[in-house]
Chain A
Amino acid sequence: EADIYQTPRYLVIGTGKKITLECSQTMGHDKMYWYQQDPGMELHLIHYSYGVNSTEKGDLSSESTVSRIRTEHFPLTLESARPSHTSQYLCASSESEGGSYNEQFFGPGTRLTVL
């Protein structure tokens, strides 16, 4: 099983609240990713990072922000949650060498519900 962790696993909050979804990996991977997944739909990349102090936006526009101060930690923050942010958020990491051939290891996900 991959050593990548996400907390919390489930979160129910009210509109307007600020939240941070945590993601940590102990594999020493440089590349990390955040995906958004709705039921029955494909995963959409919302943020990624090549390493410390590197963050990029993915294909799906997201109002969330990320930071990468340490290699092992890649938190995602929503400044003001809205019901449209209700979704499952998956964090992943991979090695740098080998490009797309390298497996992305996924965390268990955080299921966010905004009321």
Chain B
Amino acid sequence: KNQVEQSPQSLIILEGKNCTLQCNYTVSPFSNLRWYKQDTGRGPVSLTIMTFSENTKSNGRYTATLDADTKQSSLHITASQLSDSASYICVVSDRGSTLGRLYFGRGTQLTVWP
């Protein structure tokens, strides 16, 4: 069964600190993996996308890594800011359909305290 598991479920850090969020998946055949940021009451917004051949991708203070062999990804946030408080969702796509089937994790709820 294709699944996406994220950890931790929630995380509280102080402003300025770094943190790392984890994503494990069983989706096959693998196409790509995205990290989305979802602010409360808003729709998700894409942060990064990685395909099978990519190991790391950065977007400002966000750095995503992918290990396609172990089917694991991480999202590292550097020098956190209050505006980073949001849910971070790992989304994996397969190659099995023209639609491009997406499998969503439940997200990690990050809270940044001043």
Contact = CB atoms under 8 A, between A and B. Distances in A.
Contacts of B49: 101, 103
A45 B100 CA distance: 12
Contact of A102 (B4, B44, B89, B100): B100
Contacts of B60: none
B41 A101 contact: no
Contacts, number: 63
Nearest to A6: B43
Given A106-B45, A109-B43, A99 B98 contact: yes
B80 interface: no
A42 B105 contact: yes
A99 B98 CA distance: 6
A34 B106 CA distance: 17
Interface string B32-50: 1010000001111110010
B102 interface: yes
A13 B40 CA distance: 22
Interface of B: 4, 9, 31-32, 34, 41-46, 49, 51, 89, 93-95, 98-102, 104-107, 109
Interface of A: 2, 4, 9, 31, 40-45, 48, 50, 90, 92, 99-104, 106-109, 111
